[in-house]
Amino acid sequence: MKLNPFIKYLIGSLSLLVFGTVTAQSASAKTHYLTNVPDYSFLETKRTIHTTNDYFNDVKITIPKGTIFQATGVSIGVKTGHPFLSIDLNGLSWHLRKIVIDSKHDQQSTASLWLTTANFKRVRTPSYLAYYQATKRFPASYRGTLHQGDKYPQDDSDVTAKSNEVRVTNDGYLEYTENASVQATKQIKPQYSVKVQRTIKKGNNTYLYTASNIPAIPSTHIRSTGKYQYRFKFINTNQHLVTTNPSMSNPDVFGDMTVVVRYYIGNTQTKYYLCTQFISK
């Protein structure tokens, strides 16, 4: 039976509409990836990320939407050619890193995550990290951590040395930790952790405003209510100090040295240092 020309036209139009819609959906569902993500640049999660710890894959990790973190070790898939990375949870606040720090494994990175534009976006360096050069290459476990003390300890004591630490996490929490190992590879539970609400940078001074106090470090109480009740002043003196160590095989020969920058917090003369460089022969 021959179809009425109008019916044939109607069927053709419907087919075009259906297949056109499918094609459009396929195109819109195409995955896009971030390009040009340098080491130590910053990314923000565009949606909640559910993943696990790296290698062992037995600890469930949730990173909320809007979390800012530092990108390191971006790699390219051999078969796919697409970029991916692992997030180092040491750089994030305690409520996010707790689950891996408390786990039985010494593994603080997430499993590999594809750098898709649906999951992540590039952002500027957060203002609350203005007290140091956050995008500069630093020794891995010392990024942004101020150790209380004159300078880095000598080799014969650095393994066992401990100090009080102050730092701001990549997602914006001011933390204070007592008696932390100077050579620690993971960030243990802090005694205090408060959200930074505002930052002002003036010359070598960085002012951090919070709603809660950290009694262990100097602050100025400026308001009784609201988000900006306390102000913490970080002073970067730009004074570099060096700890040198002889060679292990020959004490008369240079072996290595550690370079630090001196800081003060508040108007006190309590010394802090930030490790900036390790140099070995």
pLDDT of 8:
42
Do 133 and 117 sit in the same domain of this protein? no
pLDDT band at 26 (very low <50, low <70, confident <90, very high): very low
Decide if pLDDT at 117 tops 80.
Answer: yes
pLDDT of 7:
43
Does 70 or 140 have the greater pLDDT score? 70
Q: Give the model confidence (pLDDT) of 174-208 as tens digits.
A: 999 999 998 888 899 999 999 999 999 999 999 99
- Among 108, 42, 113, 111, CA closest to 72: 42
- Of 99, 123, 147, the residue at which a domain comes to its end is 123
Q: What is the mean pLDDT of the chain?
A: 88
- Of 123, 140, 156, the residue at which a domain comes to its end is 123
| 106 neighbors 186 (Cβ within 8 angstroms) | yes
Do 148 and 263 sit in the same domain of this protein? yes
Q: Is residue 26 part of a domain?
A: no
Could you give the CA distance from residue 225 to residue 101 in angstroms, rounded to a whole number? 34
pLDDT band at 99 (very low <50, low <70, confident <90, very high): very high
Q: Would you state the structure tokens that stand for residue 172, as one six-digit string?
A: 């914006």
Q: Is residue 244 part of a domain?
A: yes
- Of 73, 89, 123, the residue at which a domain comes to its end is 123
pLDDT of 36:
92
pLDDT of 33:
98
Decide if pLDDT at 252 tops 80.
Answer: no
Alpha-carbon distances, residue 60 vs 74, 90, 102, 105 (angstroms): 22, 16, 12, 13
Q: Is residue 21 part of a domain?
A: no
Lowest-confidence range among 102-116, 174-188, 242-256? 242-256
Do 97 and 179 sit in the same domain of this protein? no
Do 92 and 212 sit in the same domain of this protein? no
Counted domains in the chain: 2
Contacts of 21 (CB under 8 A, 6+ apart): none
Could you list the residue range(s) of the whole structural domain that residue 234 is in?
127-280
Do 160 and 271 sit in the same domain of this protein? yes
Q: Is residue 4 part of a domain?
A: no
Q: Is residue 27 part of a domain?
A: no
Q: Is residue 113 part of a domain?
A: yes
Do 173 and 79 sit in the same domain of this protein? no
pLDDT band at 14 (very low <50, low <70, confident <90, very high): very low
pLDDT band at 141 (very low <50, low <70, confident <90, very high): low
Do 194 and 266 sit in the same domain of this protein? yes
Do 256 and 139 sit in the same domain of this protein? yes
pLDDT of 174:
99
Lowest-confidence range among 155-159, 231-235, 243-247? 155-159
Q: Give the model confidence (pLDDT) of 56-82 as tens digits.
A: 999 999 999 999 999 999 999 999 999
Q: Would you state the structure tokens that stand for residue 200, as one six-digit string?
A: 């002002």
Do 57 and 108 sit in the same domain of this protein? yes
Q: Is residue 275 part of a domain?
A: yes
Do 148 and 276 sit in the same domain of this protein? yes
Do 247 and 140 sit in the same domain of this protein? yes
- Among 118, 136, 144, CA closest to 275: 144
What pTM, to 2 d.p., does this model score? Answer: 0.87
Could you give the CA distance from residue 262 to residue 72 in angstroms, rounded to a whole number? 26
Alpha-carbon distances, residue 142 vs 100, 112, 168, 194, 281 (angstroms): 19, 23, 12, 20, 21
Q: Would you state the structure tokens that stand for residue 147, as one six-digit string?
A: 């150790």
Do 138 and 236 sit in the same domain of this protein? yes
Provide the CB-side half-sphere exposure for 61 (13 A, CA).
31
Q: Is residue 7 part of a domain?
A: no
DSSP H or E run through 243: strand 230-246
pLDDT of 229:
99
